[in-house]
A and B are shown apart, each in its own frame.
Chain A
Amino acid sequence: MVINTPFSKSNAGVLITILLISCLLVLPLLAAVGCDLNDPDRDVKRLFPESTGYKTIYVSVAQKGGEAMLRRIEERLGDKFQGLYETADVPYTMYQIFKGRDLIGYIHGVNQKGTYGGIQVFLAVDLEGLIRGFYFQKLTSQFGKQLRDEAFGRQFTGLNLRDFFNYDVASGTVKGEGKLTAIKNPAPQAEADFRAALRATKKNLILIDEFLLGNKYLQ
């Protein structure tokens, strides 16, 4: 029995071509570079042991609020969006975490420029936006072991976006007192990636606030 691929090799092919090109001109566009969990079943269970399931949703700044939203996010971050991973049309993958039918939290990851290519920082937060889990999904630096250690991630537990208000991502410094001053870099040789992780965390919390928490932490 032979069943060839179910496409007609006729003028339909030309018509499809014209339609696809038309899509480019008419439909809202998204960038190609997003950040999602490589193994969501394993990671969701690890970050939310009490969970029974999760739902994947895709959002983008371009879709929700466009340029105005982008400007607001940049102002909250204290830095411009730049590079391959930070554009208004990046599709963000957000995970709603369930216990039975009850929503119990969220997981979201962001791409961030690191010393060696990109790093990926994921946060697990509760419904109030408090961090209950932090981890690097991607970090190839030879000093990554210390940053990937659970002890480093535990320093972020219990923090929320308010704790990052006085963190200046451009200079990598905390203005005044705050919980962030307690976060120590276990790998001084990887200072750039440590600062990248803090920037990624602040950016991640802002995006969670914008997309999922209704701007609960807007200053």
Chain B
Amino acid sequence: MKAFKSSLRFFAGRALSVLLLFAAEAGVLYSSNYLFFLEVQGIAGYSSAAGKAVFYSMSRMEAMQKPSLGFDYVQKFAGAGGDIATLAVQARLAVNAEGGDTIEPQLYNAYLRLKLGGSYIWAGHNRPKFGLASWFDSHGQLLQPTAMNGFGFDRDWGVGLERDLSWGNAGVSLTTGSGMSLYLKGNYFLSGRIAKGVLNRDNYTVGLSAAAGKVLDVMGVHLMNDKPALFEMLATDATWLRNNWENRVEVMAGKRGSTAAWAVFWRTGVGLLEESRLKLEAQPAVFRMNGKTNVQVSAGISYSAGADWTLRAMVQRDRETKDTRIVFQVYYYKGMRL
């Protein structure tokens, strides 16, 4: 915790100088140093366990996916010699068709990333350096990786350090282990990942991750248990692309709370039609946590109806909840000039 606060103080000083630069920034007339995207999504489906229509893809308490309106903002800061920092903010107002809060604010990205020699340091709300979710963006998707099933965090509050290497990349992060909301109850999440292979260049990447901490049991913005639980995990993830096929595999093993926990995840997909507009995916996964083993099998289809529109559908069978559900999504993501 001391190291965490010390890192935050150092970062705050550096960040202040960047924000002063922002005030003085002037771009070429028709160019800009930011990107702003508007995001709108509609979600509807049917759950056999609930016996009714549902308006979420995972659970009522979980953040993703729900009908929502959101934005994605990326701002570059540059000095006379080039870029020195990036600010990223990504948020949504989600709609809950049932439950207490009809409008649910959700914060995803909210970080400032500074160049530090050949490395980057970030602070704020970002992806912790653990597993596939540390780099694989599933923000708009129906199929979700292991982190969204209790094995890590999609986003978390804290600081991180990362570096691109000629053969891959490496990074570490120290975050709160509280997910979307910031809670400080003695919880923390220390994680690191090293990977060989640059996906776009080599068509593969293989990563090794480790994490240790005391994390809170959260679902979206909801705190399920305010007592931090032990989390110790090793993970390996691999992604490879060949022609129009994609495969992603992740295996995790360790401890959560007082019991052993492990997960095996595989997502395979094929792109069809011109520009791979149509994508078919299958995702079997097995999770062991709290003494129970769950098998979850999902299949998804997505179609790029245009540069800004994506239509998705998912069918999922969850053995633990004895639920079979089908979910549909209409997703709109459009850039705009402010």
Contacts and interface: CB of A to CB of B under 8 A. Distances in A.
A49 B216 CA distance: 46
B76 A56 contact: yes
Interface in A73-97: 83-85, 87, 89-91, 94, 96
A52 B30 CA distance: 25
Contact of A32 (B37, B78, B105, B271): B37
B33 A30 contact: no
- The bracket for how many chain B residues form the interface is 35 or more
A100 interface: yes
B27 A39 contact: no
Contacts of A58: 31-35
Given A98-B82, A142-B242, A28 B276 contact: no
B334 A83 contact: no
A100 B30 CA distance: 25
Contacts of A89: 307, 335
A38 interface: yes
Contacts of B275: 83-85, 113, 117-118
A186 interface: no
Interface stretch (B176-184, B251-259, B293-301): B176-184
A120 B241 CA distance: 15
B337 A54 contact: no
B306 A5 contact: no
A42 interface: yes
Contacts of B105: 5, 7, 9, 13
A63 B243 contact: no
15 contacts: A2-B182, A4-B221, A5-B107, A24-B336, A32-B334, A42-B166, A53-B82, A54-B82, A55-B78, A56-B33, A59-B32, A89-B335, A100-B81, A115-B243, A118-B275
